[in-house]
């Protein structure tokens, strides 16, 4: 799964990397957590834009917004058929930018898990494949929300966790974001584990466990995993 990530990239770098029509109004976030705001790249009316969406997808047919607490991730294997995600997969795909994400590894003989930070070795942004939805509540409130698509872990991450977010390269951005693209098989073919070679995994402080901590020090590598 993907339950926390970091976005310490400048608005100008996001504008350049994702080919946005204008630089987004965003600030660095180092511990983005479910139910908080996350930047999502969408194509709407031919414009590629970045908008803050609530992380935790609320299907348009949901009776209660609280369903979003259990829909932060969509599994690649079932995203096209699961009721909570299938409509968004057909028409409302997005990219969720990050400069790294966190995963937790169980420690033998301990209830304490060790967090790791996964990023590109060259420091380039990551583009997590996502979905978005617009939900209208019973009294007319409108909430736009998103989910990260996850797939099987690659060789590098497998010792830590069995899942990882789907990461897309720039050559696939246009096809993924195009709401008119209805080639389901071609879209599903993109939802595969990312190559291990461009990524690095480093142990980081357990301070990241608390979403109230949100600073660049969370991503600083430890010399060794913390003791239990």
Give me the active site residues, please.
Answer: 2, 103
CA atoms within 13 A on the CB side of 137: 11
Q: What is the CA radius of gyration of the chain?
A: 17
- The CA–CA distances, whole Å, from 187 to 63, 134, 146, 148, 196 equal 29, 22, 18, 15, 21
Cα distance between residue 178 and residue 220, in whole Å: 36
Sequence-distant contacts of 14-17: CB under 8 A, at least 24 apart? 14/39, 14/50, 14/97, 14/125, 17/97, 17/124, 17/125, 17/170
| d(C-alpha 80, C-alpha 129), whole Å | 14
Neighbours of 85 (CB within 10 A): 23
**Are 163 and 150 contacting, i.e. CB atoms less than 8 angstroms apart?**
yes
């Amino acid at each position: 799964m993907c339950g926390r990530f970091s976005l310490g990239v400048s608005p100008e770098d996001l504008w350049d990397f994702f080919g946005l029509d204008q630089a987004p109004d965003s600030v660095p976030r180092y511990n983005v957590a479910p139910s908080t705001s996350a930047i999502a790249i969408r194509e709407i009316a031919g414009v590629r834009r970045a908008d803050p969406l609530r992380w935790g997808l609320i299907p348009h047919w949901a009776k209660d917004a609280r369903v979003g607490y259990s829909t932060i991730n969509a599994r690649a294997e079932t995203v096209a058929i699961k009721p909570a995600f299938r409509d968004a997969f057909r028409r409302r795909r997005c990219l969720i930018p990050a400069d790294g994400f966190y995963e937790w590894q169980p420690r033998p003989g301990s209830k304490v898990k060790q967090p790791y930070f996964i990023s590109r070795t060259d420091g380039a942004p990551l583009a997590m494949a996502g979905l978005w939805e617009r939900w209208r509540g019973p009294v007319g409130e409108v909430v736009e929300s998103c989910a990260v698509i996850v797939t099987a872990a690659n060789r590098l991450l497998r010792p830590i966790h069995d899942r990882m977010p789907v990461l897309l390269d720039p050559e696939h951005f246009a096809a993924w974001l195009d709401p008119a693209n209805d080639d389901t098989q071609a879209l599903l073919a993109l939802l595969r584990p990312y190559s291990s070679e461009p990524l690095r995994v480093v142990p980081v402080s357990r301070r990241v466990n608390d979403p109230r901590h949100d600073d660049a020090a969370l991503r600083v590598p430890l010399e060794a995993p913390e003791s239990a």
